Amino acid sequence: MSRAAIRIRDDFWSAYQELVTGTVIPYQWEALNDRIEGAEPSHAIRNFRIAAGLEEGEFGGFVFQDSDLYKWLEAAAYALRLKPDPELERIADDVIGLIGKAQQADGYLNTYFTIREPDKRWTNLYEAHELYCAGHLFEAAVAYFETTGKRRLLDIACRFADLIDRTFGPGEGQLRAYCGHPEIELALVKLYGATGEERYLKLSKFFVDERGKQPNYFIAEWKRGRTPIWNPGMPDLEVYQAHLPVREQTAAVGHAVRAVYLYSAMADLARLTGDVRLREACERLWFNTTKKQMYITGGIGSTHLGEAFTFDYDLPNDLAYAETCASIGIIFWARRMLRLEARSEYADVMERALYNNVLGSMARDGKHFFYVNPLEVWPEASMRNPDRRHVKPVRQKWFGCSCCPPNVARLLCSLDDYIYDIDEAAGKVYVHLYIGSEAGFEMAGRAVTLRQRSGLPWDGTVKFELSVPGEAGGARFALALRVPNWFQTAEPRLAVNGAACPYRVENGYAVVEREWSDGDRVEWLLPMETVLIGARPEIRANAGKAAIQRGPLVYCVEEADNGAPLAALSLADDPALSAAFVPDLLGGCVVVEGSGEVPADMDWPEDAPYRPLRNASRPKRLKAIPYYLWGNREPGEMSVWLRC
């Protein structure tokens, strides 16, 4: 598939991209430099200065702290792709210079080991995140090179990748090992893409293939007596997806971010190497993850203990982890599954995670973030019940382990990569996401420009306009528009140049093949129904409950609109939900209102915790806002699922 030149111009998303470039990236640069008052220090820049010999001191922060800077750099590269910014580019070039100074003579680059344990390189692959950090370096390097054409960071990355390639492998004297935290695997695929160096692809495949083989490397490493960073005990192989060779894995287990980063690389490799068993494993794991272990918001990871998957249908709303990075990781994975095969279910998940879990992780000011994205919050319980301490009712300024904020930044700045797939060979242009944008590509030998305008997430009208300039007439190809999975009764309508147009649905895409001429217009009308969604009975946490969804957005009720306790509020038998855009609420959003109920008697005598049931209720209007906007007012209760 050829690469398209895509620029986002969208009422909804452009504002987010401007927030990221204008606020998030500068803010995070301050954070990386430990200049945010009242926030936990990052130590990231300082670690590089120490490793580079420019400053004296001790390593600070987590063992994987370098990756925060790399992710920030990657985000900065995408920001520069969106809009030139000489000051940002100068900062980036400077910090790339710093990274270069911290690189060791043989190409090794990791501030933790360079500062603290220079003799312990590669001795704790289970915990030490060395290859993980390398992976983020590679991703940043590829992004910066592709945007600016500057090779400095790419050269640094390749020198380190070459050292890793010499160190790891099946050969004599090489380590038959892999990283406790997958990441380098998908990054090596990118490095291969940018450089054309086959050995980076081969090394990625080696890491993926080696994972979970017997005898298990992590067990062997542990028996040798690694210096523990956190856990001196026997490795928990499931947590690190190293319990089975990847082609034998059938269910998502363990640390959720690790899992989806691994599965992303597996999908890349399945595509690039045509490995059918690997592809089947991806499809099995996708099915399990998205059909059995995913929250309606696109969040994954049901427990904060190990930030992990638990098991099928165990999706507690109040204890949810649903880490921001895990949801971003499922978007990475979905994007790669789409490249394997254009099936709308992959894009559906991408859209769900993006509009709900990921978008909800960032405050409207771009300066506060959720690491954990619960579906039900009782602020007092977060403060006073230690089981719920991980569930924050308010977004935080920064985190000691601040993997999530820069991940949000790099995703939102590179969103243009997620909208289209152009399959020139098959003569197909896939539209996965309805985000206003302009895509320029070659099709049937012609330069085509596709302009998309989208009313999402508020309005379902999507319009396309095609430019096929030149004298040679039209270009024949198929436009494949994803049919979203979020309406209930109506079907989307398609019109070409004002005339209703039939379409066939293939793998969830409405396909219209024709000779497209310059100036052709396509209208794609997506029904915007406000729908009540139920969960299957096995998801115990949602029994007797429903969630409100409108278009791609999952809704929630907040204490600010509905009072407390929210649990007392339920949907009326006929909730008669209505939706209306409210311009002055939270920057403007569609609010859903409807008929709810609360117990007739909410004021019990103080001495009565329990008493004979009186089932009487009284009507109460309920008001729901998009989930992604929760927690932007006074802290209070929030719930996605409502009793019905």
Positions marked catalytic: 307, 403
Interface with a copy of itself (CB under 8 A), residue from 292, 367, 428, 432? 292
Q: Would you call 554 helix, strand, or coil by DSSP?
A: strand
Q: Which residues within the stretch 581-620 sit at the binding site for a copy of itself (CB under 8 A)? A: 598-599, 602, 604, 606-615
Interface with a copy of itself (CB under 8 A), residue from 534, 586, 620, 633? 534
What is the greatest pairwise CA distance in the chain?
85
Residue 473-492 contact track with a copy of itself, rule CB under 8 A, x = bound:
---------------x----
| 316 lines the binding site for a copy of itself (CB under 8 A) | yes
Per-residue CA distances from 86 to 145, 214, 247, 624 (Å) = 16, 51, 46, 43
Specify the residue, 581 or 604, whose C-beta has the smaller distance to a copy of itself. Answer: 604
How far apart are alpha carbons 292 and 312 in whole angstroms? 5
| 563 lines the binding site for a copy of itself (CB under 8 A) | no
| 234 lines the binding site for a copy of itself (CB under 8 A) | no
Phi-psi domain of 352 (left: phi exceeds 0; alpha: psi -120 through 50; beta: other)? alpha
| 356 lines the binding site for a copy of itself (CB under 8 A) | no
Interface with a copy of itself (CB under 8 A), residue from 91, 401, 525, 568? 568
Specify the residue, 116 or 620, whose C-beta has the smaller distance to a copy of itself. Answer: 620
Q: Which of 581, 577, 464, 578 is nearest to 526 (CA)?
A: 464
Residue 152-181 contact track with a copy of itself, rule CB under 8 A, x = bound:
------------------------------
Per-residue CA distances from 540 to 291, 356, 536, 543, 545 (Å) = 15, 22, 8, 5, 10
| 310 lines the binding site for a copy of itself (CB under 8 A) | yes
How far apart are alpha carbons 369 and 363 in whole angstroms? 6
| 643 lines the binding site for a copy of itself (CB under 8 A) | yes
Decide if 157 contacts 210 (C-beta within 8 A): no
Q: What single DSSP character describes residue 512?
A: E
Which of the stretches 13-21, 158-166, 306-314, 466-474 binds a copy of itself when contact is defined by CB under 8 A? 306-314
Interface with a copy of itself (CB under 8 A), residue from 1, 533, 572, 586? 533
Q: Which amino acid is at 519?
A: G
Which of the stretches 256-264, 302-310, 392-400, 511-519 binds a copy of itself when contact is defined by CB under 8 A? 302-310
How far apart are alpha carbons 336 and 637 in whole angstroms? 37
How far apart are alpha carbons 112 and 109 in whole angstroms? 9
How far apart are alpha carbons 357 and 231 in whole angstroms? 30
Which of the stretches 18-26, 200-208, 322-330, 567-575 binds a copy of itself when contact is defined by CB under 8 A? 567-575
Cis upstream peptide for 215 (omega within 30°): yes
- Write down the least CB distance from residue 286 to a copy of itself, Å: 11
Interface with a copy of itself (CB under 8 A), residue from 469, 565, 587, 588? 565
- Write down the least CB distance from residue 642 to a copy of itself, Å: 10
Q: Which residues pair with 625 in a beta bridge?
A: 556
Interface with a copy of itself (CB under 8 A), residue from 540, 582, 588, 621? 540
How far apart are alpha carbons 108 and 314 in whole angstroms? 42
Q: Which of 621, 615, 575, 577 is nearest to 599 (CA)?
A: 615
- Write down the least CB distance from residue 234 to a copy of itself, Å: 16
Rg, the chain, Cα only: 25
| 644 lines the binding site for a copy of itself (CB under 8 A) | yes
- Sequence length of the chain is 644
Q: For a copy of itself, how many residues bind (rule: CB under 8 A)?
A: 63
Place of tokens 């971010």: 257
| 314 lines the binding site for a copy of itself (CB under 8 A) | yes
Given the DSSP bridges, would you call strands 521-525 and 376-377 parallel, antiparallel or unpaired? unpaired
Phi-psi domain of 163 (left: phi exceeds 0; alpha: psi -120 through 50; beta: other)? alpha
Which of the stretches 16-24, 354-362, 495-503, 538-546 binds a copy of itself when contact is defined by CB under 8 A? 538-546
Decide if 492 contacts 536 (C-beta within 8 A): no
| 543 lines the binding site for a copy of itself (CB under 8 A) | yes
Interface with a copy of itself (CB under 8 A), residue from 306, 440, 474, 635? 306
Interface with a copy of itself (CB under 8 A), residue from 15, 54, 220, 305? 305
Which of the stretches 16-24, 48-56, 367-375, 565-573 binds a copy of itself when contact is defined by CB under 8 A? 565-573
Per CB under 8 A, residues contacting a copy of itself are: 287, 290-292, 294, 296, 302-306, 308, 310-311, 313-314, 316, 319, 378, 380-381, 384-387, 488, 531-541, 543-544, 546-547, 565-568, 570, 573, 598-599, 602, 604, 606-615, 643-644
